[in-house]
């Protein structure tokens, strides 16, 4: 004859087996989701690098934005931008797959060409004042109102020429 506690013990053992099997299923599902997300992020990093190389090409015009799919896949998209920012250019690449995104923003400079760019000022509708023994040699990007000799603590500009060997732009 079986004891009454045998049924109680079999129920406890079956509950433990269900908990262990459920935990194994949850661990497997979580691992699979993590692996898929890791693969998406790897693809996103590669897309950002590809988009960056496209933006850095000479053929990609300044002050343009373009939305493309790098892998010819409807799930992924990339937004490529190149803007002028003073004497530099700003490149921006944003890639996304579903809700995962990766982006990169960078400054684009270039090697110096024939002349040295020595000064760049924004146009605030007033001239730049120069005093003392200051010397400007090279290409100067000045405001429309130009440059003038000024005074600081009653000391004026020592020379007669304001900018030497320069293109005033």
Query: What is the per-residue pLDDT across 38-53, written as a single tens digit (0 to 9) for each?
Result: 999 999 999 999 999 9
Confidence of residue 159 (pLDDT cuts 50, 70, 90): confident
Domain boundaries, the chain: 5-108, 111-169
**Picking from 37-51, 78-92, 123-137, which range would have the lowest pLDDT averaged per residue?**
123-137
Measured CA to CA, the distance from residue 159 to residue 24 in angstroms comes to 84
Residue 159 structure tokens: 């020379």
As a whole number of angstroms, the distance between CA 98 and CA 29 comes to: 19
Least confident of 4-18, 86-100, 108-122, 136-150: 108-122
- Note the pTM of the prediction, 2 decimals: 0.59
Q: What is the rounded CA–CA span in Å between residue 30 and residue 24?
A: 10
Between 58 and 81, name the one with better pLDDT: 81
pLDDT (0 to 100) of residue 7: 86
**Using CA atoms, how far apart are residues 155 and 160, in angstroms rounded to an integer?**
14
């Amino acid at each position: 004859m079986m004891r009454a506690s045998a049924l109680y013990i079999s129920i406890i053992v079956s509950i433990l087996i269900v908990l262990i099997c459920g935990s194994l299923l949850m661990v497997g599902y979580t691992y699979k989701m993590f692996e898929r997300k890791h693969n998406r992020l790897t693809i996103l990093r590669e897309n950002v690098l590809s988009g960056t190389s496209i933006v850095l090409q000479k053929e990609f015009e300044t002050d343009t934005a373009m939305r493309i799919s790098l892998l010819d896949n409807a799930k992924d998209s990339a937004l490529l931008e190149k803007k002028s920012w003073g004497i530099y250019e700003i490149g921006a690449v944003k890639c996304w797959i579903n809700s995962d995104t990766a982006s990169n923003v960078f400054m684009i400079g270039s090697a110096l060409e024939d002349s040295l760019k020595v000064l760049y000022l924004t146009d605030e509708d007033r001239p730049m004042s120069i005093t003392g023994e200051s010397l400007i040699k090279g290409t100067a990007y000045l405001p429309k109102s130009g440059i003038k000799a000024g005074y600081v603590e009653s000391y004026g500009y020592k020379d007669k020429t304001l900018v030497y060997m320069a293109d005033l732009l």
